[in-house]
Amino acid sequence: MKMLSTIQHTGLFIVALLLVPDHAWALQPHGAPEGLYVHQMSHVLFTGALIYLYWHTRRTPELSNKGWHYLQLFCILFAGWNMLALVGHESARLLNPSDFIDKASWNEQVAGPITPIKMVYFITKMDHLLYVPALLALVIGLRSLSKDAQREADK
């Protein structure tokens, strides 16, 4: 009985913390320069993990149905997104606030003249063209794997 009371009090405390947040920012700024280094390293490590998962699912014959193929597509696209994001972070670091019009607003634009680094920055800002199809491939793959597992369980 005492254990249940402790669990209830802990749960109540967690709910109270969640209901009274101090700040709820969507973006977490990283302290310079260590935060950026760790963030960039996480892109490299995540890419390595995705490449390993792709490699592992390619060489394991039991993992050859449609769901696994979509998972492999997710791995390739998301690894590409990670590398694109890494390049984008580096290109943003090389730009100055004077290189933008309406910086940090919904109307932010790259100011002319367009240099190669500004072009790289602009292209990397279109990363949604990689990660949206990647997440769609993940959803389709997981749905397919789930349906296959359900069919096996129904037998």
pLDDT of residue 140: 97
pLDDT of residue 21: 63
pLDDT of residue 62: 79
What's the pTM value of the predicted model, to 2 decimals?
A: 0.76
d(CA 20, CA 41): 33
Q: Phi and psi of 100, rounded to 5°? A: -125, 155
Q: For the chain, which residues score pLDDT lower than 70?
A: 1-4, 17, 21-32
The pLDDT tens digits for 112-150 are 899 999 999 999 999 999 999 999 999 999 999 999 999
Residue 108 is given by DSSP the state: -
pLDDT of residue 116: 95
pLDDT of residue 63: 78
pLDDT of residue 27: 56
List of E strands, the chain: 100-101, 109-110
Sign of the alpha-carbon dihedral angle for 32, 34, 37, 38: negative
pLDDT of residue 52: 97
